Amino acid sequence: MKKYKNYPSNFALLTFLSLFLTSFIFGQTIRNDLLSLDNRKDFGNYLFCQKDYLRAIDEFNIVLNGKWNDTLQYKVASSYFNMKKYSDAMNNYEKLFSSKLISEEAKLEYYRSLFFIEDFEKFRKKFVADYFPKSYEVQLNRLRAYSYLMDDSELPTETELISKFEKPDVKQISEFYNWKKEPPYKSPTKAAIMSSIIPGLGKVYVDEVGDGITAFLLTGLFTYLAMDKFQKDQTTSAWLYTALAAFFYGGNIYGSASAVQNYNASIKFTFDSEVKVYINKRDHFLPKPKYMCE
């Protein structure tokens, strides 16, 4: 009996160790399966479709470090694009320029990213053989033509610019071109001269009729009061009203010139806004990116 007295405790220990090792090995197997590249790719795709782009990039990069995948690299670049990190997007699209599967689409998205940076001069300079996707030549040439409306560079001829577009867009692009070529700006000098002749007339010139009438009435009132006081030999108050009349007279001249600058700034802002609204409505004349979740 002495020989077997420790048998129950040894059996319990062996059972515990067996169960522990089994659960450990099984747990490791499950963990390794969960962290497999295929599962990380699937999880990354899920995050991508949920628009959790930053975490999707992390998952995709882990997969890419283990096994290259053109589609995943494209999604990494697209994630940066969707986060409006356009320079990072360009760098990642550029890695796909030699891809047999998706090089043309990557080059297209490279240009889309460059356009969104709004460095339109650089955008036009990048139209070179190494970068240009021939499959999307028509669409990108439209975007290139459109870019001239969005910065202060010299415009090409109207015929050259609108020749890139189809009939539904030609009329609107032509209107934008003429607006850009000869914007309906007003002259600060003209406004100042008009207000020096008739106080407030420069404000009326820029459609600030209420301010123009106010300037005319106040300047006229203080001028009248100054003249009346001089006629009554009330020199102190006469000079006070003269100073006020001069102040409002000079102020309305300066204010009219400033009002023209504000007017012209609003014209430019309206133009830029309408151009951007139109191009957004037309999806930048480009096809939808590939491999996007609906």
Which pLDDT score is estimated for 73?
96
- pLDDT tens, position by position, 97-111: 999 899 999 999 999
Confidence of residue 162 (pLDDT cuts 50, 70, 90): very high
User: Which helix (H) or strand (E) segment is 70 a member of?
Assistant: helix 70-82
Taking only the tens place, the pLDDT of each residue in 132-155 is 898 999 999 999 999 999 999 999
Q: Do residues 130 and 105 make contact, with C-beta atoms less than 8 angstroms apart? A: no
State pTM to two decimals.
Answer: 0.74
Q: 91: pLDDT confidence band, cut at 50, 70 and 90?
A: very high
What is the C-alpha to C-alpha distance for residues 71 and 80, in angstroms, rounded to an integer?
A: 14
Domain layout of the chain by residue ranges: 69-182, 188-279
Please tell me the predicted confidence (pLDDT) of residue 31: 46
Question: In this predicted structure, what is the pLDDT of residue 264?
Answer: 92
d(CA 214, CA 221): 10
pLDDT band (50, 70, 90) for residue 202: confident
CATH architecture of 69-182: Alpha Horseshoe (1.25)
Token output for 266: 């609003």
